[in-house]
Amino acid sequence: MLRFAGKRLLWALVTLWAIITITFIIMHSIPGDPFAREGKMPPAVYENLTKHYHLDEPLYVQYFLYIKSLLVFDFGPSLKSSTLTVNDYIEKGFPVSLHLGIQALLLAVVLGLIFGVIAALNRNKWPDYLSMVLAIIGISVPSFILATFLINYFAVEWGLLPAATWSSWSHTILPTISLAMLPMAYIARLMRSSMLEVLNQDFMLTAKSKGLNKGFIIMKYGVRNAILPVVSVLGILAANLVTGSFVVESIFGIPGVGELFVDGIFNRDYPVILGSTIFYSMVLIFLIFIVDIAYFWIDPRIKVAGEEQ
Amino acid sequence: MSKGNIVLTKEMFVPAEDNFLEAETISAPSVSYWRETWRRLKENKLALFGLIIIILLVLMAIVGPYINGYSYFEQDFSKKNQPPNSEHWFGTDTAGRDLFTRAWYGARISLFIGLMAALIDFVVGVIYGGISAIKGGRTDNIMMRIAEVLFSIPYLLMVILMMIILERGIWPIIVAMTITGWIPMARLVRGQVLQLKELEYVQAANAMGAGTFWTLAKHMVPNMMGPILVNITLTVPTAIFAEATLSFLGLGIPAPEASWGTMASDSLGSILIGNFYQLAIPALLISITMFAFNVFGDGLRDALDPKLKK
């Protein structure tokens, strides 16, 4: 177990380093001067600015300085704000994004599992068709379209829910739905096929012939086995939520890290883009690491396969 | 029972027919791989429906922009924000451009981006995955580790980052999409090649002196076309989705060109003043296309591998 965790941790660090390096190279290969938009300034000021941001050093020195500051979780200054650093932005935005993300993930997992199980149990009957049609719609409709439709009907036409901003729980409902739809659809489809496979297994027949309660069999033998593939894709789904949150947060005007990232793109504020990308990657890699460990712990069969390697 | 009383006469016998051996053969004619797949695909009504939609969309992308005589960039400010009517079938946008023509012109660009991204993914994936599997050992290990690291960067995040440094346009979008988009294909090809390279006909080709790439292109790729085709079909909606998101972030196709993504994001401002149709048209087209490719891809996968669908 410890060996496995250590191996995964090392792998996570290598991945994180690769992402930092790639995004750093991408962000520094942009042609032009980051201060070009600031208008005319005295040469002394300009020189001080470049010196302050270490832009006069060669690229590899800048790279090592950046890595060094990342080691103490310092994401550097923002080019557009004189007082706020990228850290300030993230500290403000992350709790909001985390709240939205957890709420959406919970909704997606719970509803996705329910739809998937119902579909599998009623194979080729109407509940199956209904859940699968819902799932296909969920996969086919991009989140920004879903979000605008929801705003148009629930907020503008019917006036049931607030259209934007983030101040009370009712403000979180529409963004959560917009964000949760895609992962929910994936989970429902995955759960359906995995559940169908489990239902065909011999142990299900054995349990049935022992005269066990049907609901007990489904929960204890069916869902518990079928859920494993869903756990294994949770990392990918979290990545999906992150990229979905860029769009959803900026449509609903939610002050999270996603909106920060999108604003960074619009303002061409490269340290903010770089910082939020790396911050997101850290969160994602941490999540995938946790999921790997949890999977190892949930499914004892992995242990055997892992030791054989 | 005495045996003397059976009289055998000539009339009791008829000559055997020439084709008596055929009784031993299996009656159904041998069916090729693709014919068999098509037979199973036809039974899946949803997948067939998806295929019909895809064909219609492609046809409309070819002829649609010429049907009602407007061009996609022609502006007429006296006729802006018109709801769908007999003159402008899908209405006009905020600059008075005909939305019917723009919608099908956008179909052309969105489908082109989707198909081109899928095609490049296919070529790069076959080369990378093929080399990795054929070389094997250390090379395979290193190549797959590199792919794994790149794959752990969220796809859309990578596309957005690339678009920040690239210029805006169709080809930069395709480049940004394929920069890590080939990885799933490479993994798929690698898995297939690892299975195929043990088979007799590949060994026979090698024994006759065929080179690595010849064997890969001529003998292996045709035999893994099934799963590859499924992957291509499912890459197209991913690319269309990514293109729409890029346009929403202002990193998409520049005006006056149109893609469904730019049309949808351009119209976000107008829904608040009641021009909901301007969003609904591209939104419906994006959703229908994604739906069609998704159900067709799923159906194709089931048809190619009936074991999956017990």
Residue A295 located in a structural domain = yes
| Identity of residue B81 | N
Question: Using CA atoms, how far apart are residues A63 and A149, in angstroms rounded to an integer?
Answer: 44
Q: Domain of A300: which CATH number?
A: 1.10.3720.10
pLDDT tens figures, A107-166:
999 999 999 888 888 877 888 888 888 888 888 888 888 888 888 787 777 867 777 777
Residue A1 located in a structural domain = no
A273:B161 CB<8 A:
yes
Angle between helices B137-151 and A2-28 (to 10 degrees): 70
CB A167, CB A254: distance < 8 Å = no
Residues of chain A neighbouring B45 (CB-CB closer than 8 A): none
Interchain CB contact of A82 with B (< 8 Å):
no
Ordered alpha helix ranges (H), A43-82: 43-52, 59-71
The number of distinct structural domains making up chain A is 1
Residues of chain B neighbouring A288 (CB-CB closer than 8 A): 152
Place B94 in a pLDDT band, splitting at 50, 70 and 90: low
The owner of tokens 């609901």 is: A215
Question: Using CA atoms, how far apart are residues A27 and A16, in angstroms rounded to an integer?
Answer: 16
A140:B288 CB<8 A:
yes
Q: pLDDT averaged over chain B?
A: 79
Show the CA angle centred on residue A102, arms to residues A101 and A104, nearest 5°: 65
B271:A148 CB<8 A:
yes
* Interface ipTM above 0.85: no
Restricting to B residues 210-239, those with a Cβ less than 8 Å away from any Cβ of A are 237
Q: Percent of chain A, pLDDT > 70?
A: 91
Q: Reply yes or no on whether the pLDDT at B91 is more than 80.
A: no
Question: Using CA atoms, how far apart are residues A219 and A221, in angstroms rounded to an integer?
Answer: 6
Q: By three-state DSSP, how is residue B6 classified?
A: coil
Q: In this complex, which of B250, B264, B310 lies closest to A145 when CB atoms are compared?
A: B264
DSSP B67: S
Residues of chain A neighbouring B291 (CB-CB closer than 8 A): 136-137, 140
Place B69 in a pLDDT band, splitting at 50, 70 and 90: low
Interchain CB contact of B55 with A (< 8 Å):
no
Residue B209 located in a structural domain = yes
The number of distinct structural domains making up chain B is 1
Residue B74 located in a structural domain = no
Residue A75 located in a structural domain = no
Q: Which domain holds residue B290?
A: 88-304
Residue A22 located in a structural domain = no
Q: Percent of chain B, pLDDT > 70?
A: 80
Q: Domain of B174: which CATH number?
A: 1.10.3720.10
The owner of tokens 């016998």 is: B13
Residue A195 located in a structural domain = yes
Q: Distance, in angstroms, between A142 CA and closest chain B CA?
A: 6
Give the residue, A61 or B64, on which the prediction is more confident: A61
DSSP A53: T
Q: Which domain holds residue A148?
A: 90-308
Exposure string for B178-195, b = 16+ CB within 10 A, e = fewer: bbbbbbbbbbbbbebbee
Question: Using CA atoms, how far apart are residues A241 and A180, in angstroms rounded to an integer?
Answer: 8
pLDDT tens figures, A163-215:
777 777 777 788 888 888 888 988 888 888 888 888 888 888 888 888 877 88
Task: Look at residue A309 in the predicted model and tell me its pLDDT.
Answer: 42
Residue B105 located in a structural domain = yes
